[in-house]
Structure 1
Amino acid sequence: MPRDSTVLALQRAFYSTALWLAQPLLRLRLARRARLEPGYAEAVEERFGDYGARPARVAGPGELLWVHAVSLGETRAAGVLLEAVRRTLPGVRILLTHGTATGRAQGRSLLQPGDQQAWLPWDTPAAVRRFFDHFQPRMGILMETEVWPNLVHEAAARGIPLALANARLNARSYARAQALGRLARAAYGGLRAVWAQTEADAERLRRLGAPVEGVFGNLKFDAAPDPGLLQRGALWRARWGRPVVMLASSREGEEAAFLKHFRRLAGEKWSSDAPENEVTPLLVPRHPQRFDAVEALAEGLGLKVQRRSHWGEAGPPRASDHAGIVCVGDSLGEMPLYYAWADVALLGGSFEPLGGQNLIEAAASGCPLILGPHTFNFAEAAEEAIAAGAALRVADMAEGVAAGLSLLQQADRRAAMSERARAFAQQHRGAAERTAEAVGRLWETAVARAPRRGDR
């Protein structure tokens, strides 16, 4: 046992030193990102544990429920959870932390009076200590995958319970965690509770020593698409009058492959003057810093580009000649609109070995979906969607584009897939209430164990 403790201490020291030495590189990276996304220039010193310029604390020590949602997807899941938690713990004050600019921007809409928002610091011991010294949360909830060794170690040392909610761990991430040995096991084992999405996630987490207390499902199934966006997308579809095939939440490399095969396979359907034959490709990049690059890619191929940011609520303008037009969805928070506008969608991130983006929003919006070969981020949901008849699996982008164009000629099949997709999404709801109840129990335990105000 002493030897194990010594090895763990050495591993943590090596890890912490490596992160400390990498801080200048992190600052350079943030500066580069800020040129494309100004949100990365906001409150940079918070990333290094300096919160001194923030307003005076509006909540007393031990009164904050801290929720960490690193990026946009986790923040949306956190929003679903917080809605249920506020019913379970009326009046609770929230500290919401993030790691990306899109997550932070989305998180602002979740705040209520008395809540706070900040960047989670880089996982060095000094920065983590300053974070806990400043905010003094009563307990913390980490969303999905955000387990950091120094963060968990410091919380445990302070008696602050940390839970991992909506937890997922795919086979690749599990292998990487195993490679970290005792450092990873200490981090996962230092959590107070883990609530997994699936039994497969739970099993991998248990192998790393995580205290899995339940398999509650995926919170993202409880996020209902904005009805206003769905209605607007349906109006756009009727106004546009041409079928639309979308590449949804696309990643680098996928747009070029999509356009290559679309041009080859759509052929006359894309260039024909007959409105009933024209097909419009719609590209919606996953990351906003790539909007300009995707436009440049299409224009470099000699295509005419129309961008969402140039339209009002009425949608894309009517054009006398739709031949060769590519539409680019360069907005955030409007995926239900794009899914409602499209006749069929290909799931981004699944045509490169990236694990696929969230397919749940497409299903809830009733959009027929085509999945590439790489969906390990949502492996169980992908297989269940295919089994339910809500999605199709293809081998590569060429087959995906061909399947999308084929579905345009099968109105009855598309309608059936749309209904099955909505039913699939509806059947998997309920994770939010289950997780909120578990949060409430852990919160009450933390309250009972906390020292009384006069004893501090």
Structure 2
Amino acid sequence: MPHFLYTLLLFVALPFVPLKLLWRGIKQPEYLQHWGERFGFYTIKPTKPVIWLHCVSVGETRAAAPLVRTLLAQYPQYQLLLTHTTPTGRATSQQLFGQEVMRVYLPYDVPFAVRNFVKYFAPRIALIMETELWFNLIDACHRQGVPQLLLNARLSAKSAKGYAKLGGLVHKGLSKLALIAAQSHDDETRFKLLGASNTMVAGNLKFDATAPADSKALGLQLRALLGTQRVVLIAASTREGEEPMILDAVQGLDLLTVIVPRHPQRFDEVEALLKSRNIAYVRRSRMQDSIAPNIQVVLGDSMGELYTYYAAGDMAFVGGSLLKFGGQNLIEAASMGKPILIGKYTYNFTEATKGAVQSGAASQVRDVQHLREKLQVLIESPSKREKMGQAALNFSQASTGTTVRMMHTIGEYLQARG
């Protein structure tokens, strides 16, 4: 696709953006805020040279936490700017880093907006998490001499096929990136085939993320409310259509299931599902005392408590994997030493899933019936749960070190810019 055609299509779509924001604002009022930022207009002003880090949403922001902490510690002479695309990503940044960083929305990828952004903040370096490829933004940074590093970069075979259809647009865009630090050799190979010239394999930054210091203590408090008489399953980061499948899998099992939807705007939708099935449930936000023995499901309708949920549970199912969503991050569950079950659709986390399965930390399931069978085995075998949990902990600890490798590379580019 020619670059001018890409830009033209974005301009054609631009008048409909306010309607999209208004529509999304019905469920998430936060989408009605900071509209100016989405078009490249900002009010906050940096007081020091800027290191810019882009984290599109919650997962990328949490994954970047060890990198953010290290950047703040090693480069106090710089202002750290975090950009996001979603309100939940922005809220996660506020929760994790407070006033230690600046945070704004990344503008839409139209030339005037991205040019305003780059000129206004004048970053010394651009650090982009995972697979955020916006070609006008890449071009604006390149013209201003801002080195762009794609960090924790991943590219599934499916996504690579999609990008390949864009032809020269992608090839030219990738060639303007100073570096692509891929999660795995397979990711690196796919980027190279699309035209990337400067690449390395740095590993997965998410393995370096550490649970909040109070996670275990808070997990024990939550477990006291959940009770100790039943095995507790944490079904985390579930996506649309998966909750009915999980409920089918756990029906009749001696198990308390905690369902934590991936997106907070779906909390009410999942509650409606539980009501329609006449399932005894309680929302996490309304738990004051120990739950009643007849409760079958706890709806995890809170933000920022995933580590606490894992700490309170006996085993984990990681969502986004029973249906074709590509899977969600299993590393958090592994770092808390929990046995992990995950579906077969894990193309967004191929290497992490493969490593977890090979190490004995995780087991993949084909469908609802297979999930039910695996759950039954773990319910009946505390020793199996313990063995898998220890394997998960070992797997997590053996995969750290990405932050150090990335900081070394970032330091070289900052030094080169003076």
Same fold flag (TM > 0.5): yes
> Is this contact kept in 2: 1:372–1:397, CA < 8 A?
no
The percentage of aligned residue pairs carrying the same residue is 38
Match of 2:246 in 1: 258
Deviation at 1:377, TM superposition (A): 0.7
Query: Cα deviations across residues 356-413 of structure 1 (Å, max 9, x unaligned)?
Result: 0000000001111111111111101101101111001111122113211320100001
Structure 1 counterpart of 2:38, one-letter code: R
Deviation at 1:113, TM superposition (A): 5.9
> CA-atom RMSD, angstroms?
1.7
Match of 1:65 in 2: 51
Structure 2 counterpart of 1:361, one-letter code: E
Match of 1:4 in 2: none
After superposition, where does 1:232-271 map in structure 2 within 5 Å?
232-239=218-225, 240-241=227-228, 242-263=230-251, 266=252, 269=253
Q: Does 1:381 align with 2:359?
A: no
Q: C-alpha separation between the residues in 2 aligned to 1:398 and 1:22?
A: 43
Candidates 7, 21, 24, aligned match of 1:16:
7
> Is this contact kept in 1: 2:131–2:153, CA < 8 A?
yes
Deviation at 1:172, TM superposition (A): 0.8
Partner SS for 2:214: helix
Query: Cα deviations across residues 29-83 of structure 1 (Å, max 9, x unaligned)?
Result: 22222222222222012111122xx14x2325xx111111101111112221121
> Is this contact kept in 1: 2:66–2:210, CA < 8 A?
no
Q: C-alpha separation between the residues in 2 aligned to 1:59 and 1:428?
A: 37
Q: Does 1:344 align with 2:315?
A: yes
Q: C-alpha separation between the residues in 1 aligned to 2:275 and 2:97?
A: 40
Structure 1 counterpart of 2:10, one-letter code: L
After superposition, where does 1:127-138 map in structure 2 within 5 Å?
127-138=113-124
After superposition, where does 1:27-42 map in structure 2 within 5 Å?
27-42=18-33
After superposition, where does 1:231-380 map in structure 2 within 5 Å?
231-239=217-225, 240-241=227-228, 242-263=230-251, 266=252, 269=253, 278-312=254-288, 317-319=290-292, 322-323=293-294, 325-380=296-351
Partner SS for 2:371: helix
Q: Which runs of 5+ in 1 are unaligned?
A: 1-7, 270-277, 448-456
Structure 1 length normalisation: TM-score? 0.88
Deviation at 1:89, TM superposition (A): 2.5
Q: Does 1:173 align with 2:156?
A: no
Name the count of aligned residue pairs.
416
Query: Cα deviations across residues 88-128 of structure 1 (Å, max 9, x unaligned)?
Result: 32332111100011111111245576742111011011111
Q: Which runs of 5+ in 2 are unaligned?
A: none
Report runs of 4+ in structure 1 exceeding 6 Å deviation.
none
> Is this contact kept in 2: 1:65–1:138, CA < 8 A?
yes
Q: C-alpha separation between the residues in 2 aligned to 1:139 and 1:309?
A: 41
Match of 1:162 in 2: 148
Match of 1:439 in 2: 410
Q: C-alpha separation between the residues in 2 aligned to 1:324 and 1:82?
A: 40
Deviation at 1:251, TM superposition (A): 0.1
Q: Larger radius of gyration, structure 1 or 2?
A: 1
Q: C-alpha separation between the residues in 2 aligned to 1:228 and 1:127?
A: 41
Change (3 A) 1:310 1:133: same
Structure 2 length normalisation: TM-score? 0.95
After superposition, where does 1:62-101 map in structure 2 within 5 Å?
63-101=49-87
Structure 2 counterpart of 1:328, one-letter code: L
> Is this contact kept in 2: 1:199–1:215, CA < 8 A?
yes
After superposition, where does 1:99-118 map in structure 2 within 5 Å?
99-109=85-95, 111=97, 115-118=101-104
> Is this contact kept in 2: 1:197–1:218, CA < 8 A?
yes
Match of 1:142 in 2: 128
Deviation at 1:262, TM superposition (A): 2.2
